[in-house]
Amino acid sequence: MLRGWRGYATKPFYITTPIFYVNAKPHLGHLYSMLMADTRHRWARLTGPSFMLTGTDEHGLKIQTVAESKGIDPKLLCDQVSQNFRDLATKLNVDYSRFIRTTDPDHIQAVTHFWQTVADKGWLYQGQHAGWYSVSDETFFPETQIEQGPDGTMISKETRNPVIYQEETNWFFKLGAFQQQLIDHLEAHPEFIVPESKYTQILRELKSEKLEDLSVSRPASRLKWGIPVPGDPTQKIYVWFDALVNYITACGYPNLGSTGAQWPATHIVGKDIVRFHTIYWPIFLMAANVPLPNQVVVHAHWLSEGFKMSKSLGNVVDPIDTYEYYGEDSLRLFLTEYTNIDADSNFSEQAFVDTRDMLIGKYANLITRVGGKKFDIAASVNDFADGKFDDIESRIGARSPERAEEIITLSNELRQSVDSLYEAMDPHMTSFNPKRALHEWWQVLDRANLLFQLGEPWAIKDDATLKNYYTFMAAETGRVASLVVTPIIPRLAGAMLDRLAVTSRDIGAAKFGGDLGFGAGANNPKLHPLPIVRVPKRESQETQ
């Protein structure tokens, strides 16, 4: 029997990661973006439909150069490296709806149509271009966005990559024509860019610096690996103009709404590509008369033991190596709990191990203890359903008179916090603050563990109802806690629900007493191998 049914949201949620450039193997930052999107996608899916997009960006000069150095076709190189990102998503249980590639036929068609639409509206023109070009970023930067680096070379202020002065004939996009329109949109929708610091940064830049028209093509004589400019075989479409369109390709553009992805989207991006997603992309969409995204969530980067990850320091954290040693659940939990979109996060091996041990000690252990042979979860559920706990305060007082008030107060607090756990976590999860959501989750587990210790149900021999009460409070906490944490640690939460013999996994049952049909066979440990075990701290990380 289920209680507390909430019903479902009807508007589909659409969330995207950046599409990852296939010039190198996946790193921790790629996984971080994936998990931010995946946990939010899974949370939305608790109450309605959701679509998550991730994938790879596969055109451009860097790919062409690497392919030429290896003596292979660029598409073959993309096939090989793109698979690495698919594998990362699979290993860490990232439940994307589509893995898009910019070499996909429907994407090439969408980009071609998008270009032609913008051109037909008069927003493109051909001209000579001279400026500071970054090969690494595959973009020209205006004078205001470059500076001299420590070694005397010119670099981009935003990405810190080297730039060179270059002249060529390109197609240009009239970026400046939409500057005031974008400013107006941002001022009317301050939630469009989060965190607030990034919103302030972009708005200040737009108000203080005139946007220069943007070069959106490259000579085909230099860039061979790209989408041709419609009607001009001498030019290839600029890789960022190409790549950004992926977000609407997945929605069936130009027939938006013809797929499972429903535009507009919420974008997850790293701070190094904020300008592309909060200035260029909205303006491209304005020019094509396509609605703007709902929101752009900008996250910071990961440090390792307080320092930027680098091969020379030997502190690069490989996500696959970490997964293979510690497992999926602890890596997902750590990266989610230590999320800080406003400042760089720090990967500490000791903090990681401490978090993993706490996951085992406070969460998994509570459920495995109450699932032992000394207890009977199914009987405790039946006792609750039959109202046998209605006089539980008198039973607690009779057995533990000196601690009765403390236990009763704790029991009431636990019951209330379990009943409201989903509602307590929801505003934090929907606003990309899972750290606060997990704080609520850990508090409930702390109360449940303390009640179990104070009640000492394993020592109760003469009051089966009281013993079943403590059993139920622990099992019910574990059930609801598992339901709400499923978006963050889906494998372990699923295993814990199996351990409790919970058949209903609907979030509508995430209320105290919301499922009175679980527990049958749960107290046979032989049927339930431990889903997570302690491992010693990894001594060192291989330099990648």
Q: What is the DSSP letter of 211?
A: P
How far apart (Å, rounded) are the C-alpha atoms in residues 7 and 316? 45
pLDDT at 209: 94
On whether the CB atoms of residues 183 and 209 are closer than 8 A, the answer is no
Domain 13-118+239-323 has CATH 3.40.50.620: yes
3-state secondary structure of 101: strand
For domain 124-215, give the CATH number: 2.170.220.10
Where exactly are the structural domains of the chain? 13-118+239-323, 124-215, 349-509
Hey, what are 132's tokens?
């500071």
What CATH homologous superfamily does 349-509 map to?
Isoleucyl-tRNA Synthetase; Domain 1 (1.10.730.10)
pLDDT at site 6: 39
Per-residue pLDDT at 10: 59
Q: Which of 475, 457, 446 is nearest to 396 (CA)?
A: 457
What is the mean pLDDT of each successive set of 10 residues along the chain, which is 544 residues long? 41 94 89 98 98 97 92 95 96 98 98 98 92 79 87 88 88 98 98 97 97 94 95 96 98 93 96 96 98 97 84 82 96 93 91 96 97 96 98 96 97 98 98 97 98 97 97 98 98 97 96 97 86 89 44
User: What's the confidence (pLDDT) of residue 541?
Assistant: 53
pLDDT of residue 540: 66
User: Which residues are CB-neighbours of 367 under 8 A, at least 6 positions away?
Assistant: 474, 475, 478, 482, 496, 499, 500
Q: Where are the beta strands (DSSP E) in 135-281?
A: 139-141, 146-148, 154-156, 164-173, 193-194, 214-215, 217-219, 228-229, 232-237, 266-270
What is the pLDDT, as a whole number, of residue 527?
81
